[in-house]
Structure 1
């Protein structure tokens, strides 16, 4: 493998699956996909899709912080996975409130199912400069 460093933090969920929470490769942090899982309990959070979106973004920010970045401010690309595109506008509201005036590039796709039957998952790429 190239010169990379796995990122691990208690601020984001972890499990026994064979992947890192994030990987730092040079100045780029690749954050694994996160659903709305509370890192303390390991369970999906209660609440509506906006509450779940906030939790997903908190998980991503925690990994970026651990990599030496500045949370969501350093994120340059996000992929959003939704199990129902009817949630798109409400996810956008929560997402927009968190990413600021200069949002990262983004893709949003509808998928048939996500782990633990959550409704939203995101992965991200951040520039740690």
Structure 2
């Protein structure tokens, strides 16, 4: 039996209490959207996750981030340059990107939550 949903398939990727070492990357220390997204993650994961607030221009390469290898990486209300996204995608065990900005949709073309 197929599960019926009105959601796009990508939105069926969900947080899991068994996610490996969750890393929550969210927009800005002064962005209410990013803060709200980080708060939602914190209400789910609590102290089990690492939370990093970022502003545009903070990250040039994946090496500017905490280690992502083998981790569940959530990018909330934020997007990176394609080179950084590719490096995260190659290293992360799980990748979830949530961003409502049009510019992010253009940057994230070709990447999928998994």
| TM-score, scaled relative to structure 1 | 0.29
| TM-score, scaled relative to structure 2 | 0.32
Q: Choose between structure 1 and 2: higher helix proportion.
A: 2
